[in-house]
């Protein structure tokens, strides 16, 4: 299939590089600056790069990042988890939806540094060993996707919604599935996905 990514002249992919270099283990220890506030010592990180560690899809990841790096950019640029998309970068469109502490959030508007120590779930975790999650299968069957760029965010948002409301009312669908925008116009298929998964007629 044409989806298979061609080997590029640059050789190894970012993911392979991370595996080879074991970057998490090689991060040098940077001692944060400590300031005193209200009689207690409080660490202050940055503005330069600081070591950070994350639990993403149950796996540990580490990188040296500046505090200004968003969770979205860390996922995509540092860990090659590119299923989470950057579209508006302003918490408006939903293409970067991930679960943080099992709740859907916009990764573009979470600092990576504050997402440490909280479980992060991305689209990559939903289909393991090539087997799609039933919601993903429903997206394929109902053609809830065209160009596919909004799709991973929509899949995560729908999953979180259906986990919270397994049998949603039309009103719940109206209120809770508006955080994701599609440009190709796939909402009809997505509504059918929700209807099928919840056994309802949809909104």
What is the footprint of other proteins within residues 38-57 (CB under 8 A)? 38, 40, 42-48
Does the protein bind other proteins through residue 191 (CB under 8 A)?
yes
Considering only residues 135-154, where is the footprint of other proteins by CB under 8 A? Answer: 136-137, 139-141, 143-152
Q: Which residues contact 19 (CB under 8 A, 6 or more apart)?
A: none
Compute CA distances 27 → 9, 24, 48, 53, whole Å. Answer: 28, 6, 14, 10
CB of 41 to other proteins, least distance (A): 10
What is the rounded CA–CA span in Å between residue 20 and residue 153? 30
Question: Which is closer to other proteins, CB of 27 or CB of 132?
Answer: 132
Does the protein bind other proteins through residue 28 (CB under 8 A)?
no
What is the rounded CA–CA span in Å between residue 166 and residue 135? 12
**Nearest by Cα to 136 from 184, 183, 190:** 190
Choose which of 56, 110, 162, 197 interacts with other proteins (CB under 8 A): 110
Q: Which residues contact 184 (CB under 8 A, 6 or more apart)?
A: 145, 146, 147, 150
The span of 22-30, 54-62, 186-194 binding other proteins (CB under 8 A) equals 186-194
Question: Which is closer to other proteins, CB of 55 or CB of 82?
Answer: 82
Does the protein bind other proteins through residue 200 (CB under 8 A)?
no
The span of 23-31, 54-62, 66-74 binding other proteins (CB under 8 A) equals 66-74
Q: Which residues contact 9 (CB under 8 A, 6 or more apart)?
A: none
Question: Which is closer to other proteins, CB of 55 or CB of 133?
Answer: 133
Choose which of 54, 57, 61, 84 interacts with other proteins (CB under 8 A): 84
CB of 25 to other proteins, least distance (A): 18
The kind and range of the H/E element at 190 are: helix 187-198
The kind and range of the H/E element at 39 are: none
Choose which of 6, 129, 167, 199 interacts with other proteins (CB under 8 A): 6
Question: Which is closer to other proteins, CB of 28 or CB of 129?
Answer: 129
CB of 21 to other proteins, least distance (A): 10
Contact 92, 114 (CB under 8 A): no
Does the protein bind other proteins through residue 179 (CB under 8 A)?
yes
Contact 135, 82 (CB under 8 A): no
């Amino acid at each position: 299939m044409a989806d298979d990514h061609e080997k590029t002249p640059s050789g190894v992919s970012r993911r392979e590089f991370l595996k080879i270099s074991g970057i998490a283990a090689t991060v040098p220890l940077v001692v944060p600056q400590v300031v005193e506030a209200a009689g207690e010592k409080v660490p202050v990180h940055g503005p330069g790069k600081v070591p950070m560690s994350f639990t993403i899809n149950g796996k540990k990841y580490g990188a040296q990042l500046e505090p200004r790096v968003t969770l979205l950019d860390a996922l995509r640029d540092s860990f090659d988890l590119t299923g989470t998309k950057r579209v508006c970068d302003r918490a408006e469109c939903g293409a970067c939806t991930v679960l943080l502490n099992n709740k859907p959030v916009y990764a573009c508007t979470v600092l990576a540094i504050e997402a440490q120590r909280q479980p992060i779930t991305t689209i990559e975790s939903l289909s393991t060993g090539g087997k799609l999650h039933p919601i993903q299968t429903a997206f394929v069957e109902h053609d809830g996707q065209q160009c596919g760029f909004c799709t991973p965010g929509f899949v995560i948002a729908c999953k979180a919604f259906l986990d919270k409301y397994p049998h949603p009312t039309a009103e719940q669908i109206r209120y809770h599935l508006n955080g994701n925008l599609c440009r190709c116009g796939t909402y009809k298929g997505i509504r059918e996905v929700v209807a099928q998964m919840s056994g309802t007629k949809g909104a």
